[in-house]
Structure 1
Amino acid sequence: MPSAQPNSKRKLHLANSSSRKKAKIEHRNADELPWKTVTRPFEAGMGGDDGIMELEEVEGVEVVYETTDGGRVAKFNVLGEKSDDDEVEQEVEHESDEERDDSPILVDEILAFDSENLLPNWYKYSLHPQLSRALHAKSFLSPTPIQEVALPTALAGRDVIGVAQTGSGKTLAYGLPILHHVLSQPKPSPKTKRPLSALVLAPTRELALQVSSHLNALLNHFEEFSSEKTVKKSSNPATTDGKMPTKKPPPHVSVAAIVGGMSSQKQRRILDRGVDVLIATPGRLWDLMEDDDTLARDLKNIRFLVLDEADRMIEAGHFAELENILRLTLRESAEDQIPTEFDDDGEPIHVEEEDSKEGIKKDDLQTFVFSATLSKDLQRNLKKRSRSKGSKKHYKRNEAPASTLDDLLLRLDFRDPNPEIIDLSPVGGLVSTLQEGRIDCLIADKDVYLYYFLLRYPGRSLVFLSSIDGIRRLMPLVELLNVKAFPLHSQLEQRQRLKNLDRFKNTANSVLLATDIAARGLDIPAVDHVIHFQIPRSADTYIHRNGRTARAMRKGFSMLMCAPDERRLVKALLGSLNREESEIPEMAIELSMLDKLKARVQLAKQIENTQHKIKKTNHDRNWMQETAEALGVDLDSDFISDSDDETKLSNQKRKAKDAKMAALKAELKRLLSQPLIAKGISTRYITSGSRPIVDDLLAGELNESMLGLKKAEAGSDVAVPKKKAKRKEQWKKKQKDKVKETKKAKAED
Structure 2
Amino acid sequence: MAAVTEAEPLVFPKQSNKKMGKRKRTQNDPELDRFDSLPWNSSISQDDPFSVIAGSHELEGGFLSLEEIDEGDYGLEIPVSNNKDDVQGESVDETEFYAWNELRLHPLLMKSIYRLGFKEPTPIQKACIPAAAHQGKDVVGAAETGSGKTLAFGLPILQRLLEERDKASNMGDDMGEEAEMFEPKGLLRALIITPTRELAIQVTDHIKKAAHGISIRVVSIVGGMSTEKQERLLKARPEIIVGTPGRLWELMSGGEKHLVELHSLSFFVLDEADRMIENGHFRELQSIIDMLPMASGSIGGQSQSSENCETLSNMQIKKRQTFVFSATIALSGDFRKKLKRGSLKSKQSMADGLNSIEMLSERAGMRANAAIIDLTNASILANKLEESFIECREEDKDAYLYYILSVHGQGRTIVFCTSIAALRHTSSLLRILGINVWTLHAQMQQRARLKAIDRFRSNEHAILVATDVAARGLDIPGVRTVVHYQLPHSAEVYVHRSGRTARACTDGCSIALISSNDTSKFASLCKSFSKESFQRFPLEESYMPEVMGRLSLARQIDKITRKDSQEKAKKTWFDRNAESIELMVENDDSEEERVNNHKQKRVTSMQLKKLQQELNTLLSRPLQPKSFSHRYLAGAGISPLLQHQFEELTRQKLDHGVNFGDNKRRKMVVIGQDCVEPLQALRSSGQEVRMDMKEMTEKRRDVENLRRKRKEEKKRLRDQRRKQKKRLKEVDE
Q: Normalised by the size of structure 1, how large is the TM-score?
A: 0.68
Please, which runs of 5 or more residues in structure 1 have no aligned partner?
1-100, 224-250, 339-350, 378-398, 725-749
Q: Report the secondary structure of 2:460's partner residue.
A: coil
CA contact (8 A) 2:237 2:258 kept: no
Amino acid at match of 2:444: L
Q: What corresponds to 1:557 in structure 2?
A: 509
Give the whole-Å Cα distance in 2 for the aligned partners of 1:684 and 1:111. Answer: 78
Q: Which of 693, 698, 701 is the aligned partner of 2:639?
A: 693
User: CA separation of 1:629/1:671 partners in 2, compared to 1, >3 Å: closer, same or farther?
Assistant: same
Q: Which amino acid aligns with 1:180?
A: Q
Letter in structure 2 aligned against 1:565: N
User: Are 2:320 and 1:365 equivalent residues in the alignment?
Assistant: yes
Q: Distance in 2 between the 1:620 and 1:127 partners?
A: 62
TM superposition shift of 1:493: 1.5
Counterpart position of 2:559: 609
Count of residue pairs brought into register by the alignment: 550
Question: Structure 2 matches for 1:23-42, cutoff 5 A?
Answer: none
Structure 1 residue 522, shift from structure 2 partner = 1.1
Q: Which residue of 2 aligns with 1:160?
A: 139
Q: State the Cα distance separating 1:293 from its structure 2 match.
A: 5.4
For 2:382, the aligned partner's letter is: V
Q: CA deviation at 1:300?
A: 4.8
- Secondary structure of 2:291's partner? helix
Contact 2:641–2:672 (CA under 8 A) maintained in structure 1: no
Is residue 215–residue 255 contact of structure 1 (8 Å, CA) maintained in 2?
yes
Are 1:316 and 1:403, in contact at CA under 8 Å, matched by a contact in 2? Answer: yes
Alpha-carbon distance between aligned partners in 1 of 2:137 and 2:18, rounded to the nearest angstrom: 36
Is 1:463 aligned with 2:392? Answer: no
- 2:391 alignment partner, one of 427, 440, 445: 440
Cα shift at 1:324: 1.3
Deviation, structure 1 residue 407: 3.3
Deviation at 1:694, TM superposition (A): 2.5
The within-5 A match list for 1:721-740 is: 721=688
1:454 aligns with 2:388: no
In structure 1, distance between residues paired with 2:645 and 2:574: 62
Q: Deviations over 1:97-116 (max 9, x none)?
A: xxxx9998965465878369
Aligned-partner Cα distance in 2 for 1:157–1:701: 64
The partner residue of 2:622 within 675, 679, 689 is: 675
The Cα of 1:688 is off from its aligned counterpart by 3.0
Contact residue 286 and residue 354 of structure 2 kept, 8 A: no
User: Is the contact between residue 182 and residue 276 of structure 1 (CA under 8 Å) also seen in structure 2?
Assistant: no
Match of 2:242 among 267, 279, 286: 279
Q: Distance in 2 between matches of 1:643 and 1:487?
A: 43
Residue of structure 2 in register with 1:411 after alignment: 363
Please tell me whether residue 711 in structure 1 is matched to residue 662 in structure 2.
no
What whole-Å deviation, never above 9, does each CA across 1:677-730 have from its counterpart, x for those lacking one? 2244443454432x7433564599999531112333323335475999xxxxxx
Q: Equivalent of 2:425, from 445, 460, 473? A: 473
Query: Is 1:267 aligned with 2:217?
Result: no
Match of 2:160 in 1: 181
Letter in 1 for 2:502: A
Q: 1-side partners of 2:576 and 2:565: how far apart?
A: 16
Please tell me whether Structure 1 or Structure 2 has the larger radius of gyration of its CA atoms. Answer: 1
1:597 aligns with 2:567: no
Partner SS for 2:104 = coil
- C-alpha deviations, 1:308-354, integer Å up to 9, x for none? 1111111122212111111112514069879xxxxxxxxxxxx9955
SS in 2 for 1:478: helix
Q: How does 1:4-15 map to 2 (within 5 A)?
A: none
Deviation at 1:432, TM superposition (A): 1.7
Which residue number in structure 2 is paired with residue 588 of structure 1? Answer: 538
Q: Is the CA contact (8 Å cut-off) linking 1:687 and 1:693 kept in structure 2? A: no
Match in the other structure for 2:274: 311
TM-superposed CA distance for 1:487, in Å, is 0.5
Contact 1:306 1:368 in 2 (8 A): yes
Kept after mapping to 2: 8 A contact 1:681/1:692: no
Specify the SS of the correspondent of 1:584: strand
1:556 maps to amino acid: G
| Superposed displacement of residue 497, structure 1 | 1.1
Partners in 2 of 1:467 and 1:102 — Cα distance?
53
Q: 1:661 to 1:701 in 2, by over 3 A?
A: closer
Aligned to 1:78: none
In structure 1, how many angstroms separate the alpha carbons of the residues matched to 2:590 and 2:511?
A: 50
Of 363-372 and 202-211, the range deviating more from structure 2? 363-372
Distance 1:353 1:405, change over 3 A: closer
CA contact (8 A) 1:352 1:361 kept: no
Instruction: Decide whether the 8 Å contact of 1:696 with 1:710 is kept in 2.
Output: no
2: CA distance between counterparts of 1:651 and 1:300? Answer: 71
Structure 2 residue 423 is matched with structure 1 residue 423: no
SS of 1:368 mapped into structure 2: strand
Check 1:708–1:699 CA distance in 2 against 1; reply closer, same or farther (3 A cut).
closer
Among residues 78, 86, 106, which one is paired with 1:128 in the alignment? 106
Matches within 5 A, 1:348-359: 353=312
Flag the 1:697–1:712 CA change in 2: closer, same or farther, 3 A. Answer: farther
Residue pair 2:195, 2:272 contacting (<8 A) in 1 also: yes
For the residues of structure 2 that align with 1:141 and 1:110, how far apart are their CA atoms? 24
Amino acid paired to 2:676: A
CA–CA distance in structure 1, aligned partners of residues 486 and 267 of structure 2:
38
Distance of 2:297 and 2:25 partners within structure 1? 40
Q: 1:114 aligns with which of 51, 61, 80?
A: 80
Root-mean-square deviation (CA, aligned residues, Å) is 3.3
Which residue of structure 2 lines up, in the alignment, with residue 61 of structure 1?
none
Q: 1-side partners of 2:454 and 2:25: how far apart?
A: 33
Work out whether residues 701 and 711 of structure 1, in 8 Å CA contact, stay in contact via their aligned partners in 2.
no
Q: Tell whether the 8 Å contact from 1:296 to 1:328 is kept in structure 2 after alignment.
A: no
Q: Which amino acid aligns with 2:508?
A: G
For residue 629 of structure 1, report the CA deviation from its aligned partner.
Answer: 1.7
C-alpha distance in structure 2 between counterparts of 1:401 and 1:337, whole Å = 17
Deviation at 1:194, TM superposition (A): 1.0
Taking a change above 3 Å as real, the CA distance of residues 432 and 701 of structure 1, as seen in their structure-2 partners, is farther
Say whether residues 1:545 and 2:497 are aligned partners. yes
Structure 2 CA distance for partners of 1:352 and 1:700, relative to 1, 3 Å: farther
Alpha-carbon distance in 1 for matches of 2:15, 2:573: 68
Question: Which amino acid is the alignment partner of residue 209 of structure 1?
Answer: I
TM-score (norm 2): 0.69
Question: 1:115 touches 1:123 (CA, 8 Å); kept in 2?
Answer: no
Q: Secondary structure at the match of 1:512?
A: strand
What is the rounded CA distance, in whole Å, between the counterparts of 2:158 and 2:491 in structure 1?
34
The question of whether the paired residues in 2 share the 8 Å contact of 1:304 and 1:365 is answered with yes
> What corresponds to 2:574 in structure 1?
624
| Shift in CA distance, 210/643, structure 1 to aligned 2, threshold 3 Å | farther
Tell me which residue corresponds to 1:535. Answer: 487
- Post-superposition Cα deviations, 1:469-492, rounded to whole Å, max 9, x if no partner, equal 111112221111000100111111
Query: In structure 2, the residue corresponding to 1:553 is in which secondary structure?
Result: coil
Give the Cα separation in 2 of the matches to 1:699 and 1:674: 12
For 1:572, what is the secondary structure of its paired residue?
helix
Note the C-alpha offset of 1:259: 0.7
Q: 1:131 to 1:354 in 2, by over 3 A?
A: farther
Q: Distance in 2 between matches of 1:121 and 1:418?
A: 27
Q: Which residue of 2 aligns with 1:341?
A: none
Matched with 1:31 is none
Cα drift, residue 286 of structure 1: 0.9
> For the structure 1 residues 369 and 679, does the alpha-carbon distance in structure 2 shift closer, same or farther, using more than 3 Å as the test?
same
Unaligned stretches of 5+ residues in structure 2: 1-13, 27-78, 83-93, 169-179, 303-309, 333-350, 649-666, 692-733
1:256 alignment partner in structure 2 = 219
Q: What is the CA–CA distance in structure 1 between the aligned matches of 2:278 and 2:434, rounded to whole Å? A: 38
Q: Is the 2:472–2:497 contact (alpha carbons within 8 Å) kept by the matching residues of 1?
A: yes
Task: Determine the C-alpha separation between the residues in 1 that align with 2:526 and 2:137.
Answer: 35
* AA at the equivalent of 1:662: K
